[in-house]
Amino acid sequence: MTIQTVSTNTSYGGVQGVYRHASQATGTDMVFSVFVPPHAAGAKLPVVWYLSGLTCTHANVTEKGEFRQACAELGLIFVAPDTSPRGADVPGDANNAYDFGLGAGFYVDATQEPFARNYRMWSYVTDELPKLVAEHFPVDARRQSVMGHSMGGHGALTVALRNPHRYRAASAFAPIVAPSQVPWGIKALTGYLGPNKDDWRNHDTVALIEDGAKFSGLLVDVGDADNFLKEQLRPELLEAACAKASIPLTLRRQPGYDHSYYFISTFMGDHLHWHAERLKG
């Protein structure tokens, strides 16, 4: 599988790159970013996957996430894919809404027309892109973890719960933890997967836990000044589900913080250190 280099920049002794490739999963070109910290020749490094939120591309966290210093110090590769397929022939929301269609793939493989042909972000982030990254970058496939923000927090937690033997750690900033129960998720899951709510459960963190999924432990930060906290994020549902299932959860409610990258960048270092501890050896 070939990739095209869009740009590279030296940062903290490592290389921040942006790359493009033709995706078989989505049927479109896809762009992603990779930070490779300084490392010994021939060394394989652990990798942290970061899934972004609604309206975002790879660029939001790459430009505003402030992860490179910690990744350089900890020896972590950091990969940020896009949030949906893009292109002139890719269908979006009929009303150009921000919460469905372009920029809002919700990390599912759509089954409903006209979205099923391109919106296959689950296959993209769990299968195609990991194989591509492993082919071109010094990744230790035995040491992977996943994190995300908002819609990407939903993606990260569901990816981890469905693949507990692949990912050693999972964390999230302001995740949508129960999409089946909130407006963002109901709209997206109906549009991509259809009206049968049983088909949604594999893409709902709380439902997965209720259905028996396990993970070694989760770290979640939310801001108590987040405008989406009560209606869309509902962290108390995750707290209750984890408690009932005996899944260790560190849920931190950060006073004064909102939904933005000011919040994410403030606690990014904490999350990366938490991941690094679990990616050792």
Whether 259 is catalytic is yes
pLDDT tens by residue, 227-259: 999 999 999 999 999 999 999 999 999 999 999
Residue 40's pLDDT is what?
Answer: 76
| 201 against 1, higher pLDDT | 201
What does pLDDT average to over the chain?
A: 97
Residue 137's pLDDT is what?
Answer: 97
pLDDT tens by residue, 41-78: 789 999 999 999 999 999 999 999 999 999 999 999 99
How far apart are alpha carbons 247 and 254 in whole angstroms? 21
Confidence of residue 37 (pLDDT cuts 50, 70, 90): very high
With pLDDT > 90 as the criterion, what percentage of the chain qualifies? Answer: 96
Q: Is the pLDDT of residue 175 over 90?
A: yes
205: tokens are 């963190």
How far apart are alpha carbons 192 and 45 in whole angstroms? 35
* Residue 110 near residue 119, CB atoms below 8 Å: yes
Confidence of residue 180 (pLDDT cuts 50, 70, 90): very high
Closest alpha carbon to 164 in 109, 213, 207: 213
Strand 139-149 to 167-173 pairing? parallel
Confidence of residue 39 (pLDDT cuts 50, 70, 90): confident
What mean pLDDT is predicted for residues 257-265?
98
Residue 189's pLDDT is what?
Answer: 98
pLDDT tens by residue, 21-36: 999 999 999 999 999 9
pLDDT tens by residue, 92-119: 988 889 999 999 999 999 999 999 999 9
Indicate the class that CATH gives domain 4-278.
Answer: alpha beta
Residue 255's pLDDT is what?
Answer: 98
Of residues 154, 203, 259, 275, which has the active-site annotation?
Answer: 259
pLDDT tens by residue, 183-235: 999 999 999 999 999 999 999 999 999 999 999 999 999 999 999 999 999 99
What mean pLDDT is predicted for residues 160-168?
98
Closest alpha carbon to 169 in 35, 33, 49: 49
How far apart are alpha carbons 3 and 136 in whole angstroms? 8
Of residues 150, 154, 221, 275, which has the active-site annotation?
Answer: 150
Whether 99 is catalytic is no
Residue 94's pLDDT is what?
Answer: 83
SS3 content of the chain, % helix, strand, coil (to 5): 35, 25, 40
Residue 5's pLDDT is what?
Answer: 98
Whether 39 is catalytic is no
Q: φ, ψ for residue 245 (rounded to 5)?
A: -95, 0
Residue 42's pLDDT is what?
Answer: 82
Closest alpha carbon to 37 in 92, 86, 78, 94: 78
Of residues 23, 84, 226, 271, which has the active-site annotation?
Answer: 226
